[in-house]
């Protein structure tokens, strides 16, 4: 819990999302966007933007 609090204070939203994906890859498709955004401390709309940026970056790498 301390690690999560420190990360929320010191990390930008994109880093928090990336860490969430690394730690909980099995939950990404099981939780709603609202639940994930709430856990990360961001709005669902901003999470949607992060997901779009990430998918575009992955497509460019391919």
pLDDT at 1: 75
3-state SS of the chain is CHHHHHHHHHCCHHHHHHHHHHHCHHHCCCCCHHHHHHHHCCCHHHHHHHHHHHHHHHHHHC
The span from the CA of 3 to the CA of 1, in Å, is 5
Instruction: Give per-residue pLDDT as tens, 5-62.
Output: 777 777 899 999 999 999 999 999 999 999 999 999 999 999 999 999 999 998 888 7
Look up the pTM and report it.
Answer: 0.82
Look up residue 28 and give its DSSP letter.
T
What is the residue extent of each domain of the chain?
2-61
């Amino acid at each position: 819990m301390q690690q999560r609090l420190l990360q929320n204070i010191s990390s930008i939203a994109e880093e928090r999302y990336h860490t969430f994906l690394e730690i909980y890859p099995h939950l990404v498709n099981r939780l709603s966007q609202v639940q994930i955004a709430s856990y990360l401390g961001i709005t669902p709309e901003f999470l949607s933007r992060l997901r779009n940026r990430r998918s575009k970056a992955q497509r460019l790498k391919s």
